Amino acid sequence: MAEGLRERKKRQTRQYISDVATGLFIERGFDAVTVAEIAEAANVSINTVYNYFPAKEDLFFDRSAGMVDRLARWVRGRREGESAAVAVLRELREEVESVSPRVGLLSDYATFMKVIEEAPALRSRLWAVAQEVQANLEQVLREETGAGEEDELPHLMAGQISWIHGTVIAVIGREMAKGREPREVSREVLALLDDMEDLLSEKVLGYAVRGHD
């Protein structure tokens, strides 16, 4: 469906507020900037900021919604004959190989990481996002395999698959924080993904294989 004028204006306003806030956070640090200052710099009311972003951390992690359901989305979209873990490995390889900013492979990521490292509230939010990613994945694995709530296997598998994603994101963040070239880090992480796949058991690699439709 085509985006209406009202929806487009709201999306643009949200993006503008987020961009202004991120600029201030990078310039002065997350804790040093107030929501009132963000509202003033964006020429909107404080209430408008909170209408779009319920918490201050949401202003910095504006795109975290795409992260929260990323693994669940990849598993739902896995190919015929492909398991949950293999689908995630494939998707991650594609993101890393294409030097995608969605996994942190962008030249100014060091600046972004510095803001997070200096703000306990942002580090806590990152941890909470990681927990949500895993919980969403577990729910999808239960749906896809028909496992009951008492079955611990989807929980264990979600942990293993989340480990792949979390480790890759953490390594990319660590290396990009050193100011390295994204393409160089990309090559190293592709090799790391091969090593991680070798560490996974056949049970993990063969879990939740999509059959014929």
In whole angstroms, what is the distance from residue 102 CA to residue 66 CA?
9
> Angle at CA 182, nearest 5°, toward 103 and 28?
75
Task: Band the pLDDT of 151: cuts 50, 70, 90.
Answer: very high
What 6-11 contacts at long range (C-beta under 8 Å, 24+ apart), as own/partner pairs, is none
pLDDT tens, 88-143? 999 999 999 999 998 999 988 888 888 999 999 999 999 999 999 999 999 999 99
pTM score of the predicted model: 0.86
Structure tokens at 59: 């202003």
Instruction: Using only the alpha carbons of the chain, give its radius of gyration.
Output: 19
pLDDT tens, 22-57? 999 999 999 999 999 999 999 999 999 999 999 999
Contact 18, 59 (CB under 8 A): yes
pLDDT at 65 > cutoff 70 = no
